[in-house]
């Protein structure tokens, strides 16, 4: 094990010098990937098995290619998802919003709740809800063809194809056949201001799909559009959750005013105690 630990330590230093945020974790994850084990199983790797593939992976990560693109997998709640070029890599911060959605669905007096996930990307949100709310029926909408292919792959791989249906479409106009019937609408939409491009890490700026990132000068263009989508799709009393970026929590609640039929509009925080997503309900008739 000493040789392996030395190699991981060298890789950690190289990744740190390249500006990677979590160099030790990434060095260990790459070692686990290169040798076909879990990170917690690295002790099973013999020194003689430590080959050039690892250093190829480290070089790619040092060039700021996303860790998940190198390993081909991303973890989200209880899922291991397949990801790669063309799809937004799911973030741990979004898991808190899914927590809220699952708790909300479980509290509803609805036998088979109808859920819509707009901008599904890898399918992380849609599949998690289907898995953790077993009687739910989830419709996952994605505009980009490459991303939709990843979502379908993950839906099939996790065995939830009977309750998660993937649709290609624009979230602004999708699923008119469900107008006024949806119990819960959830979205992690694009919300990065275009003026912030220079400050975005290269893993995100250069590798996540542009359509999953940018949303006008203030980052709120898509969320403004989702207000109307929510009014169209949700049933009276239905719930909605929308993720947003740092500093946007002050502006978003006013986009869902009471005079347009919204109730209980509140910002919710992530584990770092930062405003992360806004929740609301449609007024009962």
Give the CATH number, domain containing residue 195: 3.40.50.150
For residue 82, is pLDDT > 90? yes
Q: How many independent structural domains does the chain possess?
A: 2
Domain span at 143: 87-282
Determine the average pLDDT of the residues in 106-128: 96
| Local confidence band at 3 (pLDDT 50, 70, 90 cut-offs) | low
Can you say which residues are annotated as belonging to the binding site for S-adenosyl-L-methionine? 119-123, 142, 188
Question: Is there a domain that residue 74 lies in?
Answer: no
Let me know whether 48 and 127 are in one domain.
no
Annotated binding-site ranges for substrate: 188-191
Q: Is 274 helix (H, G, I), strand (E, B) or coil?
A: coil
Known binding-site positions: 119-123, 142, 188-191
Q: What percent of the chain has a predicted confidence (pLDDT) above 70?
A: 96
Same domain, 33 and 98: no
81 pLDDT band (50/70/90 cuts)? very high
pTM across the whole model: 0.92
Asked whether residue 140 is assigned to any structural domain, the reply reads: yes
pLDDT digits (tens, 9 = 90+) for 140-190: 999 999 999 999 999 999 999 999 999 999 999 999 999 999 999 999 999
Q: Do 103 and 216 fall within a single domain? A: yes
Residue 277 and residue 195 in one domain: yes
């Amino acid at each position: 094990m000493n040789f392996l630990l030395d190699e991981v330590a060298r890789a950690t230093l190289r990744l740190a010098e390249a500006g990677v945020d979590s160099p030790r974790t990434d060095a260990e994850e790459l070692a686990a990937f290169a040798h076909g084990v879990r990170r917690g199983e690295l002790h099973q790797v013999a020194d003689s098995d430590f080959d050039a593939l690892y250093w190829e992976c480290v070089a790619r990560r040092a060039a700021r290619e996303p860790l998940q693109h190198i390993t081909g997998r991303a973890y989200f709640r209880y899922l291991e998802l397949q990801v790669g070029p063309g799809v937004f890599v799911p973030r741990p911060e979004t898991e808190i919003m899914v927590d809220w959605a699952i708790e909300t669905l479980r509290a509803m007096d609805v036998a088979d709740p109808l859920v819509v996930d707009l901008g599904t990307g890898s399918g992380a949100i849609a599949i998690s809800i289907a898995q953790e709310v077993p009687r739910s029926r989830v419709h996952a909408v994605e505009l980009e063809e490459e991303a939709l292919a990843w979502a379908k792959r993950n839906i099939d791989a996790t065995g939830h194809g009977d309750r998660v249906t993937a649709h290609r479409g624009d979230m602004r106009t999708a699923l008119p056949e469900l107008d006024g019937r949806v119990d819960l609408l959830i979205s992690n939409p694009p919300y990065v201001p275009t003026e912030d491009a220079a400050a975005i890490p290269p893993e995100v700026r250069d590798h996540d799909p542009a359509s999953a990132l940018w949303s006008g000068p203030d980052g709120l263009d898509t969320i403004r559009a989702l207000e109307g989508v929510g009014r169209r799709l949700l049933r009276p009393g239905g719930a909605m959750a929308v993720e947003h970026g740092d500093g946007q929590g002050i502006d978003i609640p006013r986009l869902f005013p009471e005079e347009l039929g919204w109730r209980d509009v509140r910002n919710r925080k992530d584990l770092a105690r930062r405003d992360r997503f806004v929740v609301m309900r449609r007024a009962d008739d």
